[in-house]
Structure 1
Amino acid sequence: MILINGNFLCRNLTGIERFAWETCRQLDLIVSKEDNIALYAPANAKSVPEYKNIKIIVSKKSIKSFPFWDMGTFSSACKKLKATGLNFSNTAPLGKNCGISFIHDIYAKDFPQDFKTFKDKLIRLYCRLSYWNIAKNAKKIITVSQFSKERILKAYKVSPQIIEIIPNGWDHFKSIEPDNSIFEKFPKLEKGGFYFTLGSLSKRKNLKWIASYAKKNPEEKFAVSGKAISGLVPKELEDLQSLPNVTLLGYVTDGHVKSLMENCKAFVFPSYYEGFGIPPLEALSCKAKIIISKSASLPEIYGNSAHYIEWNNTDCNLNNLLKEKTESPEPILEKYTYKNSAEILKKIIKN
């Protein structure tokens, strides 16, 4: 039996959780009941998916602590059911019960300086323990880009044969209807007259770049969405709050995001560290131009379909940058889908 760790059902919906939800949904469409795959859901899951071929097992226990769930409850379930665990969320049971596990990136190892408060340092330590545990004990490590694979290989000296790449996708965006009410809520935003950036307000999303460029170019308008995560909020957020040409949107729905992407001058993604980076893919699906940093996995994923900036240099002109020709994003949109991701995962499970 393959037992999917349902801890992502209790997490906020960021990129990793989106990947888990959508890949499992697509996987359910291409496997059979005879493949013996089940999802182990916590009793306090925010919602539980309905599948036709993947069995749902609801635990009697809730998640009160993610480490206790992974290393205790889920690990015990794997032993009891004699199952191989499938872990999507960068964490897994310790030791031989690690199973098949994702490491989307090793941000906490590569950028320890971004974790400053006591709580964040504890998070960093747990993340690094999880990376090490998966690298040393997983039957198969899955990551989302060649960049992340190379970082894992260098950091943990594992065999290249144990790591498989399953990239992210954008096809969940097809079912989302744009919600133009965002422009009624923020009348300062004129369609086609603003740059849009999306992401959790964590340091690696590099709001420093947006703040610096907006200061230098007061005639340009920026819309910034995202929810703050723990202490990983940069000081530049205060600068953004004080700039008259920046509109901070806070949390926005998927419908709002789609509308903003369809109507922005360009989608800007200056992040300096990404294992994959889903938002620019969503923007391309909305026919938006994308401006992204030339760092980490982003050039690998987006190739010549994007306009590039240096993550630590704002001495550029975005309007001139947008005049440069880019290639059609269609090959990228065809390559990176959750349907394709599920097909790769099915092969790994079969093996």
Structure 2
Amino acid sequence: MKIVVNTRVLLPDQLEGVGKFTHEILWHLVGQHPEHEFYFLFDRPYHPQFIYGPNVKPLVIYPPARHPFLFYLWFQGMVPRVLRQLKADVFLSMDNMTSLRTQVPRVTVIHDLAYLHFPEEKKYLDRRYYERFIPQFAAASRAILTVSEFTKADVVQQLGVAPQKIQVTPCGVSNFFKPTAYAQQIEIRQKYCAGEMYFVFVGALQPRKNLANVFKAFDFFKNLTRSEVKLVIVGRKAWKAQSILKAYRQMEHKADVVFTGRVSDAEVRQLYGSALGLVFPSIFEGFGLPIIEAQKCHCPVITSNTSSMPEVAGNSALLVNPLLPDEIGEALMQLYHYPDKREALIRLGQQNCQRYSWSHSAQLVYQKLEEAVQTPNISVKYG
């Protein structure tokens, strides 16, 4: 089988949620199925680390698709041509988008519908592109993959997709994530926090991650405890980060907040493993990968009681209303004051992250690829 894959999100040292999902699923898929040919479509020069085996053939298709006009040209102009030239059996697209101008069976991953729930976060042209085309992409795909039951239900409700067309393929957590040795914990605390304990947040700095309320919660916590505990913010500045920086400047205890920027995965692992806990009260997530990454590192988790996060965390985390800073602050207090609570959450987190396997999710993806090839073709009018 010739499996053509949209891999334009595979960028070295820049893998976040969608990129990590793409990397892990494809690494396992290629290894599990050496009998098939995989053609990876990049929109810029690729890194050899993403060529996972001898059965992978990389192709660079220009122009780089980083703008709605270029999305359109790449997916509706260049990709169909390549699919036709390769005589592809199936096209797997990992980033919510696909080609409408092809009869090749398509399997599309839809990670979330944040553009519908938070339209103000998107630039005007991006929003209009998503509003017009994502429903068409969903209709044109033989199968849709989502990373959570929450996103599946959202796609059914918002886009009118039949539930049986959607397969939930959750994120996993690799054995790369593991507890941090005590000596390394001391080193990490010394490096970032002058030796003091800290809470950690991991994610891109953008409004939906709810850092403004995290800062208020941390001020609440500091005023009640008068402790030397720090707050470490790990991640790049993303869109509309100005509002986050404004909230930071208004903090009473901003001197105890440490911004690391983007760091290596190895450093993230150690930051998880050396923290009092992960504070991740995001407003909306398709999955929420830091939850299980932290748990694999024996880091207790505070997360939101909204969208996919209760599903992902189960009973293994402190669930809070992300819009109530005092409630987040109370959860910080619990992790700080009650070691037994932390230990119980660590044990529950170890059990919880065992539910998630990249290998198993890759098997589910493959099943849908096979089914897509075997399903009779259904003509979808291009609009």
Residues 20, 212 of structure 1: alpha-carbon distance in 2 compared, 3 angstrom cutoff: same
Deviating more after overlay: 193-202 vs 8-17: 8-17
Residues 175, 263 of structure 1: alpha-carbon distance in 2 compared, 3 angstrom cutoff: closer
How far off its partner does 1:257 sit?
Answer: 1.1
The match for 1:111 is: 118
How far off its partner does 1:313 sit?
Answer: 0.4
How far off its partner does 1:175 sit?
Answer: 8.6
Matched residue type, 2:17: G
The match for 2:380 is: none
Deviations 1:160-189 (A, max 9, x none): 111111000110634999977654543435
The match for 2:94 is: 88
The match for 1:73 is: 78
The 5-angstrom pairing of residues 1-351 of structure 1 reads 1-10=2-11, 12-33=14-35, 35-47=36-48, 49-52=50-53, 54-59=55-60, 61-63=62-64, 65=66, 67=71, 68-83=73-88, 84-96=90-102, 99-115=106-122, 120-171=123-174, 173-174=176-177, 183-188=189-194, 190=196, 193-218=197-222, 219=226, 220-230=229-239, 232-233=240-241, 235-241=243-249, 243-316=254-327, 317-322=330-335, 323=338, 324=341, 325-326=344-345, 328-351=348-371
Residues in 2 aligned to 1:176 and 1:30: alpha-carbon distance in whole angstroms: 28
Conserved? CA contact 2:189–2:274, under 8 Å: no
Conserved? CA contact 1:176–1:254, under 8 Å: no
Residues in 2 aligned to 1:255 and 1:87: alpha-carbon distance in whole angstroms: 28
How far off its partner does 1:124 sit?
Answer: 2.1
Deviations 1:120-165 (A, max 9, x none): 2222222333421222211111111010001111111111111111
Residues in 1 aligned to 2:159 and 2:296: alpha-carbon distance in whole angstroms: 36
Deviating more after overlay: 324-333 vs 88-97: 324-333
Residues 299, 198 of structure 1: alpha-carbon distance in 2 compared, 3 angstrom cutoff: same
Matched residue type, 2:169: I
Residues 177, 86 of structure 1: alpha-carbon distance in 2 compared, 3 angstrom cutoff: farther
Deviations 1:83-113 (A, max 9, x none): 2210001111125557111100000111112
Residues 224, 15 of structure 1: alpha-carbon distance in 2 compared, 3 angstrom cutoff: same
How far off its partner does 1:75 sit?
Answer: 2.3
Structure 2: runs of 5+ lacking an equivalent: 372-383
Conserved? CA contact 2:61–2:78, under 8 Å: no
Deviations 1:299-351 (A, max 9, x none): 01110111111100022313553345546233432221211111111211222
Matched residue type, 1:112: P
Deviating beyond 6 angstroms after TM superposition, the runs of 4 or more aligned structure 1 residues are 175-181
How far off its partner does 1:16 sit?
Answer: 0.3
The match for 2:379 is: none
**TM-score, with length taken from structure 1:** 0.89
Conserved? CA contact 2:298–2:350, under 8 Å: no
Residues in 1 aligned to 2:129 and 2:100: alpha-carbon distance in whole angstroms: 12
- Number of residue equivalences: 343
Matched residue type, 2:231: F
Conserved? CA contact 1:194–1:221, under 8 Å: yes
Task: Look at both structures and tell me which one has the larger radius of gyration over its CA atoms.
Answer: 2
**What SS is found at the alignment partner of 2:64?**
coil
Matched residue type, 1:321: Q
